[in-house]
A and B are shown apart, each in its own frame.
Chain A
């Protein structure tokens, strides 16, 4: 998804920012850090960098030099987005972000969208976070993700071709694997 958008960004004037939530990294993935990580990818104008340098110097002067706070992050992200023709934000695995952080993250995204009508946000997650997403984005579009039978078959073919124990394989076994597994998986995913 991100690569496809990036390919297009070479010809069109669009910006793409991506973030992957990861349960192994929950402690560090605070809302401010997530918004900051998205912001980092969208600084492409000198004047926006200027705003950040000012905020950075100000924060450094304060005792101990503090990290940016969420409201500052959201404000700077809005400035960055406003400086660009169109922005796409992709966030993967919302269910892996700390449950207590999720409402804050969705609220920040909502806040950002309200000021920038051209911005598009794509998020993924397990079905159980859908209710939370709908709470903040009542008109959001929900799409179920499941691999097609054809895709599973191609994946298996590739794995079988790369098999290091290839001498244990026979044409009949190979044919069975390619027939049965895609059928079963498709049933599971429906």
Chain B
């Protein structure tokens, strides 16, 4: 099964993936390569760098905090697209300090 998914993913890409880590051409890796090779354009698109902030959040996060959220029906439906375009937006609200940022 795993093998089938791997083959499927590789076939669906159209960019040579020899220089990709794990020789895997998923979207995240392709984006990383393009961003690294075009720093001037990336800077022009936005001076903001959310990846750095994400690293901080990941470091500060207490392991498994917020994993309950991933079990919620609302999340599952949103993730799978079951609710269609009508339910394309999920809004998690709460007061300061409840862990909105740290949902895993």
Contacts and interface: CB of A to CB of B under 8 A. Distances in A.
Whether A associates with B in a native complex is yes
A125 B48 contact: no
A159 B42 CA distance: 40
Contact of A68 (B44, B90, B92): B44
A176 interface: no
Contacts of B70: 1, 4
Contact of B28 (A16, A32, A59, A67): A16
B90 A139 contact: no
B44 A11 contact: no
B95 A126 contact: yes
A139 B45 contact: no
Q: Which of B38, B53, B64, B91 has the most CB of A within 10 A?
A: B91
A141 B78 contact: yes
Interface residues of A, number: 81
Interface in B33-81: 34-35, 38, 40-42, 44-51, 53-54, 57-58, 62, 64-66, 68-70, 72, 74-75, 77-79, 81
Size category of the B interface is: 35 or more
Contacts of A123: 89-92
B31 A11 contact: no
Interface in A119-178: 119-127, 129-130, 133, 137, 139-148, 151, 154-155, 158
Secondary structure type dominating chain A contacts: mixed
Contacts of B86: 139
A146 B94 contact: yes
23 contacts: A1-B104, A4-B104, A10-B24, A20-B50, A20-B57, A25-B48, A32-B46, A43-B31, A68-B44, A120-B88, A121-B90, A123-B89, A124-B100, A130-B91, A137-B91, A141-B77, A141-B83, A143-B74, A144-B92, A145-B66, A146-B99, A148-B68, A154-B62
